[in-house]
Structure 1
């Protein structure tokens, strides 16, 4: 039996490991933290191609992931398909709408737009709630004879010796592991709030003023921030105030949300996703730098990654 080791236990690492298992690999995941301590466990986890490049590959991976979520709806795994308003302007990537299933996307009417949004699409898209979906994926991995080892891998030469095939899904950790100067954090602060009965939306058209709400089964995620090269993991009251103010300005709700928890995470932002074999260590395939679109493209990246490595 072929074997492979995946570095990282977030959404990208877990999906990569599962797709390798489906191809008959014996897979080990090695990670600094288990899935419930990763960035993937902090996010809203809506299907939304946000801050990921190159555009053409991101759209392709998103399409593959969309189809995987369609096949992966289970009663208790947190995957549902919900209406989602996506704001856009002349600079936005809107090509993803072309590949959506027929009838699942349309332009929003003026009366449907949150205040402050000029143009938007309304789509039916996947939502994968992390508190349910990540444990489901981890169990799926373990039940298929997967092994998890909690250990930090800090240099590439160490990673190259882990297995004949190593998939690097270490996210922002790749900055240290690969000495990757192109990789930088994009700080996100969000509010987990009591559930509000409004349509989920996102407006990412104004850099530095990201605004969105994701309605989940038992709560809502209201965001957010998109500060580049910001390593601050502390909750900032000023950001909470800005997020709340922007939410109220949409006129979707006339009262302040009831905050359950304030959360900060660092998205792994890169000029382009690193998706290639390492030049110096040919046993390593890199799959990191997915910006704010980990859940949107992870399955698609995993599917293409397996095609690239299977015959190596």
Structure 2
């Protein structure tokens, strides 16, 4: 497996559990990847629904493992359009779901709902995944890969989990950085989350971690800069405090920038190259956590089928 973000680690774990001798080659450890910057909650997104639902099933199971860093979270989302379906099919896998009453929805929003989902604490969860993989006999080697054919020649199958790196590694020009800036502030005791979305405008979220609250957000397609923008920081904090007044006196702990691996669609497929079999699992944009277990299990299925028939 090339890459050790949340997708690479999850895929490596499932391969090792399936009986494959598995190793990871990575330029940087998980806590230095984009995965550490992510807000890291399960939130319904269009497309790849089966992968999303399977991932949520696993996260709900992991709530019972105190070492995993997965916790229940209720998120209130305000929307600028009316909600007509009181029991949407996409909400079925959630822990709970309800539509807000009219007096619970602040202006200028038209509706809102509360989603009983999960949150993931990346500083706990990513080391948990590394340890789980190594306990299965897996080996993680810090080594930058610049040519997949070199790795493919030495292994039965190579799994490409390089995220944005796939743009140069496999020449996928549909990959584009989607810049996200977040602000971590002191957590005054917040255990629930808030999210707003106005079509065509900025979105705001307030998502708690154990020690901080993550505030966002931005989504700048094609922007490569990892340098925080001061005006953006100011806007994020002001919008978040307006959304959740409990943050009024919370001091900024840090500002972080990450580049989501943007792609028109997620790429989960097997490719026969001149050097050998290459499985691809990348292009998850801002939903690496939410897709992680479902995509990983699909990669295992593809590899098991290919290796059993070859």
TM-score (norm: length of structure 1): 0.89
Question: Structure 2 matches for 1:173-184, cutoff 5 A?
Answer: 173-184=165-176
**Superposed displacement of residue 248, structure 1:** 2.8
Among 59, 62, 70, the residue aligned to 1:72: 62
Q: Distance in 1 between matches of 2:106 and 2:259?
A: 27
Question: Structure 2 matches for 1:274-285, cutoff 5 A?
Answer: 274-278=267-271, 280=273, 283-285=277-279
Among 292, 306, 309, the residue aligned to 2:286: 292
Cα deviation per residue 1:101-121 (whole Å; 9 max; x = unaligned)?
5x6112123344465443232
Q: Distance in 2 between matches of 1:228 and 1:114?
A: 30
Structure 1, gaps ≥5 residues long: 1-5
**Superposed displacement of residue 258, structure 1:** 1.2
Cα deviation per residue 1:194-231 (whole Å; 9 max; x = unaligned)?
00444302224445612101112221100111111100
Among 104, 107, 128, the residue aligned to 1:136: 128
Cα deviation per residue 1:239-282 (whole Å; 9 max; x = unaligned)?
10111122133254472531101000000010000111225355
Secondary structure of the residue aligned to 1:221 is strand
Greater RCO (Cα-Cα under 8 Å, separation 6 or more):
1
Q: Distance in 1 between matches of 2:82 and 2:171?
A: 31
Q: Distance in 2 between matches of 1:13 and 1:62?
A: 16
| Residues 244 and 257, structure 1, Cα contact 8 Å, conserved in 2 | no
Superposition RMSD on alpha carbons, in Å? 2.3
Secondary structure of the residue aligned to 2:231 is helix
Question: Structure 2 matches for 1:164-175, cutoff 5 A?
Answer: 164-175=156-167
Among 98, 121, 126, the residue aligned to 1:106: 98
| Residues 81 and 111, structure 2, Cα contact 8 Å, conserved in 1 | no
| Residues 25 and 142, structure 2, Cα contact 8 Å, conserved in 1 | yes
How many residues align? The count is 300
Q: Distance in 1 between matches of 2:154 and 2:113?
A: 45
Q: What's 1:9 paired with? A: 4
Q: What's 1:20 paired with? A: 15
Secondary structure of the residue aligned to 1:214 is strand
Q: What's 2:73 paired with? A: 82
Q: Distance in 1 between matches of 2:159 and 2:107?
A: 44
| Residues 63 and 99, structure 1, Cα contact 8 Å, conserved in 2 | no
Secondary structure of the residue aligned to 2:168 is helix
1:157 and 2:149 aligned: yes
After superposing on structure 2, the runs of 4+ consecutive aligned residues of structure 1 that deviate more than 6 Å are none
| Residues 105 and 121, structure 1, Cα contact 8 Å, conserved in 2 | yes
Of residues 204-213 and 255-264 in structure 1, the stretch that sits farther from structure 2 once superposed is 204-213
Q: Which has the larger radius of gyration?
A: 2
Structure 2, gaps ≥5 residues long: none
Q: Distance in 2 between matches of 1:36 and 1:182?
A: 26
Q: What's 2:110 paired with? A: 118
Cα deviation per residue 1:128-173 (whole Å; 9 max; x = unaligned)?
1001111111001111111111111122323422411111110111
Q: Distance in 2 between matches of 1:205 and 1:294?
A: 23
